[in-house]
Amino acid sequence: MAVRALLYRRPYEPSTIAVKHGSQVFAVRLRRHRRARRYTLRIHPSDREAILTMPPRGTVADARAFAQRHGGWIAARLGRLPKAAPFQAGVTVPLRGVPHRIVHRAGERGTVWTDMRDSGERILCVAGGIEHMDRRVHDFLKREARHDLQKASQAYATQLGVRIKRISIRDQSSRWGSCTSDGALSFSWRLVLAPSYVLDYLAAHEVAHLVEMNHSPRFWRVVGRICRQTERAKLWLDNCGNDLHRYGVED
């Protein structure tokens, strides 16, 4: 094994450490990163946990001391997370920005579909056993996100004369989308929860990177030329984007 690789190897060490703040105890997940130069903390919005990144030569003892010094920050940030909205019967979730109440249809065939009650309330119907509800709703939303993002991305790619290699749908916590120089696009499935113009903007944003792999003024001119809702979508994400991470998770 290369000497360099040994720098990042450790014998068994805990995957999480406990941090106490007042009467509260928080589990902090540890991860090493070969490019890290210092200890850093962040909050994973959908996993609803603190993650501490360690440099290659960092120690668990130093990580624990660092996390403990920032116990107040951890408590405050976790406390500010919006209330979780698990995919269970009776919970209301947005689909393309429109609220839908989840309704269990145990005796009906199918998986998940949308409907509207006589009152005008939109509902998300989930067939089958209630124990499968969470997975079925997740799968449905991911399929809808893929459909919408593939359609929007391909339309922008045609407009700009670029080629998309593939599109991946994930649950990204630090960014809504990404693009590689060879044409691979990746998006968060949670975009299908947002108003359609937000998803549309993110598709335009990532496809525009196939023209300009940066965030220069030239890049933003490309985005602005193909997407008229850019500023409106950016404002929505700034104000409401974090709320999307509360759906499909439990406290």
Beta bridge partners of 75: none
pLDDT computed for residue 5 by the predictor: 44
At 95, list the tokens. 């689909």
Non-local (6+) Cβ contacts of 138 within 8 A are: 87, 248
| Structural fold of domain 92-246 | Zincin-like (3.30.2010)
pLDDT computed for residue 222 by the predictor: 97
Torsions phi, psi of 245, nearest 5?
A: -75, -5
Instruction: Tell me how far CA of residue 14 lies from CA of 7, 24, 31, 37, 236, in angstroms.
Output: 18, 20, 10, 21, 39
Rounded-to-integer distance, Cα 178 and Cα 161, Å: 19
Q: Are 52 and 67 in contact (CB under 8 A)?
A: yes
The alpha-helical segments, DSSP class H, found in 161-189 are none
Half-sphere exposure of 198 (CA within 13 A, CB side): 24
Non-local (6+) Cβ contacts of 165 within 8 A are: 180, 182, 183, 184
At 94, list the tokens. 């947005």
pLDDT computed for residue 45 by the predictor: 82
- Count of H helices and E strands in the chain? 7, 11
Would you tell me how many other CB atoms lie within 10 Å of the CB of residue 213?
Answer: 12
pLDDT computed for residue 81 by the predictor: 83
Amino acid at 158: T
pLDDT computed for residue 247 by the predictor: 95
On the 0-12 / 13-18 / 19+ scale of CB atoms within 10 A, 27 is exposed
At 182, list the tokens. 């060879």
Angle at 183 (CA atoms; ends 182, 187), nearest 5 degrees = 130
Go through the chain and tell me how many residues it has: 251
At 61, list the tokens. 């003892």
Rounded-to-integer distance, Cα 123 and Cα 61, Å: 50
Q: Cα 14 to the chain's mean position, in Å?
A: 26
pLDDT tens sequence for the chain (251 residues): 444 544 554 667 889 999 999 999 999 999 998 889 999 999 888 788 899 999 998 999 999 999 999 999 999 988 888 889 999 999 999 999 999 999 999 888 889 999 999 999 999 999 999 999 999 999 999 999 999 999 999 999 999 999 999 999 998 777 899 999 999 999 999 999 999 999 999 999 999 999 999 999 999 999 999 999 999 999 999 999 989 999 998 86
Domain limits, the chain? 3-79, 92-246
